[in-house]
Structure 1
Amino acid sequence: MMAEEFSEPAVVRDNRRIDPETGEVREQAPAQPTVGGPDDGADSYSGNTEVDEANALAAQRLDELQRLNAEYVNYKKRVDRDRDVAKNTALAGVAEALLPVLDDVHLAREHGDLTGPFVAIADKLEATLARFGLERYGQDGEPFDPAVHEALMHSHSDEYEVATCVKVLQPGYKFGERVLRPARVAVADPQG
């Protein structure tokens, strides 16, 4: 009965590379695929390791890319900010160089010497500089502020409760928040 249970013939494979009878190297037979062998778990495990390594590498590359992108954005902001500062500095320099011309125009206008076509030229010059950000300031009666006013004369008066600019001797000019020249004024301090 036992012989009937094992009806398939036994297969013997000699996997040695050298033939013991001839002493020569045998040709390798192509490996036959095995189904459900003990190596299946090892292959899937090494595949998971490769996937894990690839995922780790991808995460590292993504982190590097995000860091480089953030550095680029910060660089671009810094360059834009520096460009704006350089532009404003250049414009302020040009405006500051033209302050004596504007003073002459202002004095000529106050004394009635600005007539004819020069009125239009003076208006265009002042409008152009104002368009680029130059602002003239200083009015009689405004409170004295040492940050934007330069006191050339002092007097005392009962009319004022705080130090007040009673006469603007020369207007001041600002470019944005930067004071190019403080307004030169006569100041009345309160009595007492």
Structure 2
Amino acid sequence: MSDFNKDEYLNDLPDMDDLSGQAAKAAASADKGSNAPAGDSAPAQETPAADAAKSQDNGDASADAKSDGKADGKADGADKSDNTLTPLGQAKKEAAEYLEALQRERAEFINFRNRAQKEQERFRQHGIIDVLTALLPALDDIDRIREHSEMDDSFKAVANKIDKAFEKFGVEKFGEKGEDFDPTKHDAILHKPDPNAEKETVDTVVEAGYRIGDRVIRAARVVVASPQS
């Protein structure tokens, strides 16, 4: 029987670190085997409805991407057009915009001024007409005195001043003996036959007529000489 050598026996035993590494490798292999499929099976096929839904989703995503791209492109183009202007070009653009706005405001102001002037002239004429209408009886009396009696110099001077004052405001006096009868400005209070008359003429002015421009304030009241039939 051979002698037992303790040191040689201990050297022949396996290292504990090697045993623990081998055990870990074995456990990992076992886990992989349990998670693997039990056989070669064919992958599940998708239904036609699922394919259509996927294609629609893909199409919508593409359309959204295109629309976003167009919007971004327009915004980028506007920004680029503004950014491409030089400081002088930008100043000219702003000056053109200000000039256009100024011209628009000027046209509106001119229209307003013209309307205001027309309204002012209309109100002015109404005031003159009111004063003239109130003074018509006195003016008729002055005309009768001139025609049928002698006027002293002082009264004649006052009458002339009144006539000039109305002329200053555009008031025109009309109606004279011998002028052609015009029904638009003459008011015939009497027609008398005249063998010498070839057409209707004014024979006598009873009350003079007054007008402002083309507007007749009062027609002249006259006696008309008519040719005999």
1:48 and 2:84 aligned: yes
Deviations 1:49-106 (CA, angstroms, capped at 9, x unpaired): 6877776665444323211111111111211222122112212221221111111111
Aligned partner of residue 197 in structure 2, secondary structure = coil
Flag the 1:44–1:188 CA change in 2: closer, same or farther, 3 A: closer
RMSD of aligned alpha carbons: 2.7
CA distance in 1, matches of 2:207, 2:81: 86
Residue 92 of structure 1: which of 106, 113, 129 is its match? 129
1:72 and 2:109 aligned: yes
Give the TM-score of the pair, scaled to structure 2: 0.56
Contact kept? 1:152, 1:185, Cα under 8 Å: yes
Aligned partner of residue 202 in structure 2, secondary structure = strand
Contact kept? 1:105, 1:114, Cα under 8 Å: no
Query: One-letter code of the match for 2:107?
Result: A
Specify the alignment match of 1:180 in structure 2.
Answer: 217
Specify the alignment match of 1:166 in structure 2.
Answer: 203
Give the TM-score of the pair, scaled to structure 1: 0.66
TM superposition shift of 1:160: 2.5
1:142 and 2:179 aligned: yes
Flag the 1:55–1:102 CA change in 2: closer, same or farther, 3 A: same
Q: Percent identity?
A: 37
Aligned partner of residue 189 in structure 2, secondary structure = strand
Contact kept? 1:134, 1:175, Cα under 8 Å: yes
Aligned partner of residue 72 in structure 1, secondary structure = helix
Flag the 1:116–1:139 CA change in 2: closer, same or farther, 3 A: closer
Structure 1: which 5+ runs fail to align?
Answer: 1-42
TM superposition shift of 1:145: 0.5
